[in-house]
Structure 1
């Protein structure tokens, strides 16, 4: 699956905003897959930068109609929980009740349809107990 640089190439980018702290979610692993018949094929792997953005996914293969982004949120929440514990000398019972893994949603998977020649920016608004996504610009 090689990327094409023509005007008909289809591309994907994303970013994550942690709405519980009002900051970008840095260092979150994101996997991009494309549907090939009845199976999913991994097409790119990235990690959010300090601004919570992934801009380095390869162009999608010609003929792609469905794309899946898998956000690996559990390690992010575990790290954030660890930071909170280090910053606050409070007892664990005073912290928000999270599952042992640090997140109610250990991963978030978003599947969406694409058309040739379009760019799809798919932001994830994330907090420990919920998320929302939309097609951005």
Structure 2
């Protein structure tokens, strides 16, 4: 996660990972972690198993902006994505107080 308004990693951002239960169509919490000094979290899912499914990251951005004394339009950001098989991806976020962008990284 990169704070593009500062050109620096966004550290200490709490991120929750949820997976959609295919039977109930409800979200189930997989894990919750916070970004490190590099704005990264390296190990939400194990790479050696089939992680197929629909997932959702919830980036809790409001507390990050409160910590740096900035207002934000986005109290949190939800990013939904699908994994097929044992593929490994990064889901980078570029962030500012009034905008964000994401893409599938490798």
Normalising by structure 2, we get a TM-score of: 0.90
Q: Tell me the SS of whatever aligns to 2:37.
A: coil
Whole-Å Cα distance in 1 between the matches of residues 7 and 50 of structure 2? 37
Q: 2: CA distance between counterparts of 1:105 and 1:50?
A: 22
Report the TM-score, using the length of structure 1 for normalisation: 0.70
Of residues 9, 17, 20 in structure 2, which corresponds to 1:35? Answer: 20
Q: Aligned-pair RMSD on alpha carbons?
A: 1.6
User: Following the alignment from structure 1 to structure 2, what is the Cα–Cα distance between the partners of residues 124 and 59?
Assistant: 21
Greater CA deviation, 58-67 or 46-55? Answer: 58-67
Picking from 52, 72, 78, the partner of 2:39 is: 52
Q: Please tell me whether Structure 1 or Structure 2 has the larger radius of gyration of its CA atoms.
A: 1
Q: C-alpha deviations, 1:43-69, integer Å up to 9, x for none?
A: 011100000001121338856320100
Structure 1 unaligned blocks of 5 or more:
1-15, 82-97
Higher helix proportion = 1
Structure 2 portions without partners, runs of 5+: none
SS of 2:11's partner is: coil
Q: 4+ residue stretches of structure 1 with deviation over 4 A? A: 60-63
Distance 1:62 1:126 in 2: 30
Decide which moves more: 110-119 or 50-59. Answer: 50-59
